[in-house]
Amino acid sequence: MQTGRIYEVSEVNEHIKALLDEDAALAGIFVRGELSNYKIYPSGHHYFTLKDPEGTLRSVMFKSAASKLRFRPENGMKVIAFGRITVFPRDGQYQLYCNELTPDGVGDLHVAFEQLKEKLFKEGLFDQQHKKPLPAYPERIALITSSAGAAVRDMIRVLGKRYPLAKVIVLPVRVQGEEAPPEICGALRYVNQWKLADLIITGRGGGSIEDLWAFNDERVARAIFASGIPVISAVGHEPDVTISDFVADLRAATPSNGAELAVPDMAELQIRLRNMETRAAQALDRKIKLGRERLERLRQTRSMLSPLNYIQDRRMVLDFDQERLANAMRNAVHGHREHYGRLAAALDALSPLKVLGRGYSIARGPAGEILKEYTQVHEGDTITVTLQRGRLGCTVTERKK
């Protein structure tokens, strides 16, 4: 820049930008720091600040680069950012244009795994109450896996050996790469829509975390959770654990182990059936033996040896019961007669005819009412007087108190 010349602000910013763009060290630089003020705009661009105890660095990651992130950046996270440093002429501030962002100390896939695991756990996708029981004797089993891998051959071999009665349906899908999650989800929905199987096994053989990543995809996890048909997740080797393992109704250590868990062993079933047959035969023999013993005891009873004696005994009991019943009836009639006599005597003692027999009479007014007071009649009224023998018609000539 020329000494003494007056420059516009934009010219100064452009000059500084050109200087920074010419610096090869700033064209591709790794920066370690802590994320702060992380924001995602509707445009899809990510804006954030990298900081350490001594300073801060404004940063931006455009949508094209941010779409490749395999984890969710959060404030406070230690990261390593790669990109170029230059000036944004409008603001006159230099910033990092980030092309790649990885967690510091651990891989981005590991962070993405833990983040998705925590998210789905909080939503309840891992809860035991959502796990569906596996059918004890499945008739049809759907294998959602690669048709070219060793895993599908191992599962078919184990299923055919352990339980040849089950029909095995293979739905070939890619199990690695960007196309794998949509294909796995589509196969899961297809089996459920058309009710093709009683049980689903999905998985693949072992590999690196990148190879197994399709089974850590959120879309696959939600498709497994939404399945109305029980799902066994059989991914990788025994130490390998994926998100699908947590969501599935049952986790198998390997694809072969998944096939073993899916069906019973035909040989064991045959042994169990033979044992049941033996126990049933023994139980039937015991029942027949007990029946014969009981029949023999009945045959030796007195009623079977001499049926007429038994009838005679019953006749004697009948005669005794008849005599006892007759006595009871006689006693009951006698008791009722005595009670009736007592009631008749009491009623006779209360009879007004008894009173008349002693010289008393009963006077009734014109309306037939019994006279108790002189005020009930008037002089000239006709009254009736009942005696022990007969009745008198009288006229009232005088009333006295």
> Tens digits of per-residue pLDDT, 179-205?
999 999 999 999 999 999 999 999 999
Tokens of 251: 């986790």
pTM (predicted TM-score) = 0.59
The β-bridge relationship of strands 167-172 and 140-145 is parallel
Q: Rounded CA gap, 18 and 88, in Å?
A: 11
pLDDT at residue 359, as a whole number: 66
Domains of the chain: 9-105 (2.40.50.140), 134-264 (3.40.50.10550), 354-395 (no CATH)
Q: Apex CA 48: angle with CA 45 and CA 49, to 5°?
A: 155
Start-end of H helices in 163-265: 180-194, 218-226, 243-247, 255-262
* Neighbour-count burial for 257-268, b at 16+ CB within 10 Å, e otherwise: bbbbbbbbeeee
The β-bridge relationship of strands 93-103 and 55-61 is parallel
Give every residue of the chain whose pLDDT is below 70, as ranges. Answer: 1-3, 106-107, 352-359
